[in-house]
Amino acid sequence: MTKMKTSLVASALAMSFALAFPAHADAGKTAGVQEAPLRAHLAFLASDLLEGRGTGQRGGDLTVAYLETQAMALGLKPGNGNSFRQSVMIAGVKTQPADSTLKLEAGGKALDIAFGKDWVFAPGDATASHSFNADLVFVGYGITAPDEQWNDYKGTDLKGKILVMMVNDPQPTAEQPNRFNGKGLTYYGRWTYKFEEAKRQGAAGVLLIHTTPSASYGWSVIQNSWSGVERFQLAAGTLGTQLQGWMTEDTARSLFTAAGQDLDALRAVAEKKDFKPVPLAARLNGDMRAAVRKVEQFNVAAVVPGTDAKLKDEVVIYSAHWDHLGKQGDSGDTIFNGAVDNASGSAALLAMAQQAKLAPAKRSQMFLWVAAEEQGLLGSAAYAATPLWPLAKTAANLNLDSLNFVGATRDIGTQGSERTELGKLAETAAKAMGMKIAEAEPDLAGGYFRSDHFNFAKNGVPAFSIESGSDYIKDPAGAKAKAQAYGKRYHQASDEYDASWDLSGMVQTAQYALNLGRLIANGAKLPEWKAGDAFAVPRNK
Ligand SMILES: [Zn+2]
């Protein structure tokens, strides 16, 4: 590059930087994320040609090829040796209720219940065939929480048992209004935690008791995602228990009654710390059959190496899931484009990487597009299980999922950052862009545990998702209405790109992510969790 060209680039960067930073600009440190490439990547990734970027589908393969070639074209370094790809082996599992003879037995007879309507089950270990003859044990919330001095298991041997559990976590009391984060949901309350803990207890399976308030959604949501459809799970590394499932509250009531127990009385006991597992005079009996197919998917990882001789061994990871729901059904609009969710974040990462390459930081920066998020955060789970960069040298993970397509804001969402030293940096980065951190709302449905950053958090890496603000600068009422109307398109075929979108908010979010990432990448030391937090564990790999 000649001198003249360098200065032209520099002045172009300074100009775009000034545009991105109306106030408090510290030019020369950061490059400005450009709208044109962001819009181009977004339009392409969200187009019908990509067929909704489905897991195990052609559109997903095309997406990976696109991200990989774009990363090459930008001159980024492959994140996995000389490859941009990380293999993620997943299993598609579909229960075959007609071929299964599974029964719940209590009081000498089988409960009269139907798969789908009254209960659902599937293998958690990607195995097609299982036979059960196992005792049922009620374990309350099924929680082991050292940070809350809570243990529902009390050392009981549960090997080979089927654990019957409540979802959510112990509710606040007059004496302890803040236990388990008060009305907010802790990770101990998520069904994913319950399945993981049952595996650690050596159980053969788990049946969760559904109630709409405890799950925060109705039975139909479970029925739709567990019966008649293929569900995906990791095929290696982190297998679950042999059986995973849910039952309706009515089913649980019949089961407990037939076993000579009172469901409500036992649930009340389970709110207390001295709760102990209660063996039910009931069994799970019979065979479970499922169709299982293994599919290879890929995370895509690209790196901008750091400039500091020592700090370049450490990395800041920006992530976004590339997958969406793909093609479904055979009439009407069969393509679930996922323009907002998450062509937006995937496109933003490419536009950010383009600028990061022009202005590297002391630490390295990884741009990570993860697979199979919509199937249960599987790509990021596979990454955390087998990281391409040691987690012990991973400074932080900033995740982008479903970005602002409405317009620039005065605020930005950083929920979860306050649990770590990233909270302060998030404020600094916001201030430098003339923004403030959006008021955090109580996390009643456990939103923090439902995005890819969480697989980093679980393994000790400070991590959160950067989310849209809502204090729109232009036409606040109109913008808010547009943002709210997205609720109807969420996870529908109508989540499509519209060329008239004002992408100033998306560019702003991408710029914010990059600026915050740079602050972390240039910081004196790796950020940590605040002491006492449930995830304040050493980065473990
Ligand atoms: Zn998403």
pLDDT in tens, 248-265: 999 999 999 999 999 999
Q: Cα of 170 to ligand 1 centre, how many Å?
A: 29
Q: Cα of 348 to ligand 1 centre, how many Å?
A: 13
Q: Cα of 179 to ligand 1 centre, how many Å?
A: 30
Q: Cα of 340 to ligand 1 centre, how many Å?
A: 8
Residue 92 pLDDT: 92
Q: What is the mean pLDDT of residues 480-499?
A: 93
CA 276 to chain centre: 32
Q: Cα of 428 to ligand 1 centre, how many Å?
A: 27
Q: Cα of 341 to ligand 1 centre, how many Å?
A: 5
Residue 14 pLDDT: 41
Percent of the chain residues past pLDDT 70, beyond the cut: 94
Share the mean pLDDT of the chain: 92
Give the residue, 16 or 242, on which the prediction is more confident: 242
Give the residue, 368 or 330, on which the prediction is more confident: 368
Residue 31 pLDDT: 64
Q: What is the mean pLDDT of residues 414-430?
A: 96
Give the residue, 9 or 229, on which the prediction is more confident: 229
Q: Cα of 194 to ligand 1 centre, how many Å?
A: 23
Percent of the chain residues past pLDDT 90, beyond the cut: 82
Q: Cα of 452 to ligand 1 centre, how many Å?
A: 9
**Cβ 466 vs Cβ 453: under 8 Å:** no
Say yes or no to pLDDT of 12 above 50: no
Q: Cα of 83 to ligand 1 centre, how many Å?
A: 25
Q: Cα of 201 to ligand 1 centre, how many Å?
A: 31
Say yes or no to pLDDT of 441 above 70: yes
| Residue 523: C-alpha distances to residues 316, 363, 399, 464, 517 (Å) | 11, 9, 19, 18, 10
Place of tokens 């995005």: 451
* Tens-digit pLDDT profile for residues 214-231: 888 899 989 988 988 888
pTM (two decimals) = 0.86
Say yes or no to pLDDT of 237 above 80: no
Q: Which residues contact 312 (CB under 8 A, 6 or more apart)?
A: 305, 306, 362, 363, 364
Q: Cα of 377 to ligand 1 centre, how many Å?
A: 9
Q: What is the mean pLDDT of residues 233-244?
A: 89
Rounded distance between C-alpha atoms, residue 212 and residue 246, angstroms:
13
Q: Cα of 321 to ligand 1 centre, how many Å?
A: 7
Q: Cα of 451 to ligand 1 centre, how many Å?
A: 7
Q: Going along 248-377, which residue ranges are E strands?
A: 278-304, 315-321, 326-327, 335-336, 364-370
- H or E element: which one contains 468? strand 467-468
Rounded distance between C-alpha atoms, residue 168 and residue 155, angstroms:
22
Amino acid (1-letter code) at residue 306? G
Residue 511 pLDDT: 98
Q: Tokens at residue 346, please?
A: 């995937």
Q: Cα of 448 to ligand 1 centre, how many Å?
A: 13
